[in-house]
């Protein structure tokens, strides 16, 4: 499908049968994959939406308009807006922490509930284009060709991973493994504990814009118009998806497709009863979210 506003697609996240799509021009859309229909046009960003993620019942987006915005997935309401202080290129979230990679060479950590600042990380010497976080670590990738690994929740710098020869555009984190994608056309797999390089994955002929790590597989997306699947243990190439594959109906790809309810379309494609129940809870408003420091941390 084409983007709803006919602008360049810049970021995408998928959760069950839902996709959140960020585009040039500030477009942000919640889409039902089973029907390719737009459930919400989330209005607020004014220029390019460079990063978008799902986090439970919320969508989090980051834009070159220097804001991070949190949206209620069911109602489409904006529930939190953070002025990040610079163009936003990467966002990540874990529990009460919201991490942002910025064009001003910093990573900023915010308290999820209030939007207040917790940490400002200044080790990068170039724009920070990608971030990822879990309960133990936070990872960033930047224009200075480096991947940095920090401890959570102290945000002490643990490792600087060097090997890419052009800037790092994407990172992923799972357990003790870090994956990075670069404009040097490679994907790299690292040991998060030691900082050692485990594999250099070569096969893309152009820039690698996106990587993900799920179980034993790595997926990478490139300007060469292909997606490659790699074995995370051996680094071997497993599959190349380049658009020539046989077309499969979306019903075969997504289990148990459902008809969209015109009165409440998002509820019909939620993946669990807990998410449906969340609809009954009022979305947070700006008045409920006073700007204050994270109570458990302080600005570094």
Band (pLDDT 50/70/90 cuts) for residue 296 is very low
| Confidence (pLDDT) at 219 | 97
Cis bond before residue 111 (omega within 30° of 0): no
User: Structure pTM?
Assistant: 0.83
d(CA 35, CA 295): 44
Of 158, 86, 171, which Cα lies nearest the Cα of 131?
171
Give the confidence band of 182 by pLDDT, cuts at 50, 70, 90.
very high
At residue 251, the pLDDT reads 57
80-109 residue pLDDT tens? 999 999 999 999 999 999 999 999 999 999
**In order of start, what are the domains of the chain with their CATH numbers?**
1-92 (2.40.10.480)
């Amino acid at each position: 499908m084409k983007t709803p506003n006919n602008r360049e697609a810049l970021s995408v996240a998928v959760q069950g049968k839902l996709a959140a799509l960020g585009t040039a021009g500030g477009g942000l859309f919640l889409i039902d994959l089973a029907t390719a229909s737009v459930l919400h046009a989330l209005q607020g960003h004014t220029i390019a939406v460079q990063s978008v993620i799902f986090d439970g019942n919320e969508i989090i987006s980051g834009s070159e308009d220097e804001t991070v915005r949190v949206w209620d997935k069911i109602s489409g309401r904006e529930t939190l807006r953070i002025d990040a202080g610079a163009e936003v290129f990467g966002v990540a979230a874990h529990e009460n922490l919201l991490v942002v990679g910025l064009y001003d060479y910093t990573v900023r950590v915010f308290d999820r509930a209030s939007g207040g600042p917790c940490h400002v990380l200044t080790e990068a010497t170039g724009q920070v284009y990608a971030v990822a976080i879990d309960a133990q670590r936070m990872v960033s990738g930047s224009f200075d060709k480096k991947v940095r690994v920090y401890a959570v929740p102290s945000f002490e710098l643990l490792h600087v991973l060097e090997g890419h020869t052009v800037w790092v555009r994407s990172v992923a984190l799972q357990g003790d493994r870090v994956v990075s994608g670069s404009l040097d056309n490679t994907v790299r797999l690292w040991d998060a504990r030691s900082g050692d390089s485990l594999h250099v994955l070569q096969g893309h002929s152009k820039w690698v814009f996106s990587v993900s790590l799920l179980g034993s597989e790595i997926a990478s997306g490139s300007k060469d118009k292909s997606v490659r699947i790699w074995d995370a243990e051996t680094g071997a190439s497993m599959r190349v998806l380049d658009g020539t594959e046989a077309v499969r109906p979306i019903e075969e790809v997504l289990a148990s497709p459902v008809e969209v309810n015109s009165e409440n379309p998002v509820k019909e494609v939620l993946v669990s009863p807990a998410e449906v129940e969340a609809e009954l809870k009022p979305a947070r408003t700006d008045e409920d979210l006073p700007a204050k420091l994270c109570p458990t941390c302080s600005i570094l």
